[in-house]
Amino acid sequence: MALDHAILVSLLERPGSGYELARRFERSIGYFWTATHQQIYRVLKRMEGDGLLDVRDVPQRGRPDKKEYSVAGPGRAVLAAWLHEPIEPESLRHDLAVKIRGAAFDDPAALIHEVERHHRVHGDRLAHYLAGERRDFTGPGAPSPPDAARELQHVVLRGGIAYERMTIAWLDDVLATLHRLGRTAPPA
């Protein structure tokens, strides 16, 4: 149930509604954790029922009212307890790697367009991360000295940047390999 913890962290960084959380999971938090709005609404409701979160109705002008959630004392305690527990080092779920190995039993060259598409997506993500880094951390408008929360957000973002750079370099390697196989071993 790390989604619970990701929500607690996000709400500690800034209280917000389910809808706002869902959008954060498409952006900053979503760089390393994904969730759909249905999942978020369900978990928010459960956590509120368990007393981990406070809610308050916020009327809005020009748009529907929202429920703004914030972390209650017990929620903070739950997060602190989790922070002191060891967790399993992450393991990957990489569909594309399955496809690449599977391509040996089909036409390797047919994968080139798919890999190029992934290459573009990761290039876009990298550009997006770098823009965010300039805006929030290294650009002229970024506050200094930054506090612990910002420093930690920055080091996580640097991880995302390193991940995208590594992935792009690897996809170049994959493309070179597929091209080489296409030349030397045409498909049956």
Partner DNA sequence: TCGTTCTATGCAACTCGTTGCATAGCAAGA
Partner DNA sequence: TCTTGCTATGCAACGAGTTGCATAGAACGA
Measured on CA atoms in the order 160, 165, 169, 172, is the torsion positive or negative? positive
Q: Determine contact, residues 157/129, Cβ cutoff 8 Å.
A: yes
Q: Determine contact, residues 10/21, Cβ cutoff 8 Å.
A: yes
* Bridge partner list, 16: 69
Cα separation, 159 vs 11, whole angstroms: 22
Token code pair at residue 180:
């080489």
Give least dist CB 175 to its own copies, A.
10
Helices 2-13 and 73-83, axial angle in degrees (round to 10): 120
Stretch that binds DNA, among 7-15, 19-27, 126-134, 178-186 (CB under 7 A): 19-27
* Residue 5: half-sphere exposure toward Cβ, Cα within 13 Å: 14
8 touching its own copies, by CB under 8 A: yes
Give least dist CB 173 to its own copies, A.
6
Q: Determine contact, residues 15/66, Cβ cutoff 8 Å.
A: no
Residues of this chain, 30-59, that bind DNA according to CB under 7 A: 34-39, 41-42, 44-45
**Which of 94, 84, 51, 81 lies closest to 69 in space, CA to CA?**
51
27 touching its own copies, by CB under 8 A: no
- Picked from its own copies, DNA, none, the partner binding residue 35 (CB below 5 to 8 A depending on kind) is DNA
| Contact pick of 58, 83, 127, 131 for its own copies (by CB under 8 A) | 83
20 touching DNA, by CB under 7 A: yes
Task: Name the site residues for its own copies (rule: CB under 8 A).
Answer: 2, 5-6, 8-9, 12-13, 29-34, 76, 79-80, 82-84, 86-106, 108, 110-111, 114, 117-118, 121-122, 147-149, 151-153, 155-156, 158-159, 162-163, 165-166, 169-170, 173-174, 177, 180-181, 185
Task: Name the site residues for DNA (rule: CB under 7 A).
Answer: 1-3, 17-20, 22, 34-39, 41-42, 44-45, 60-67, 93
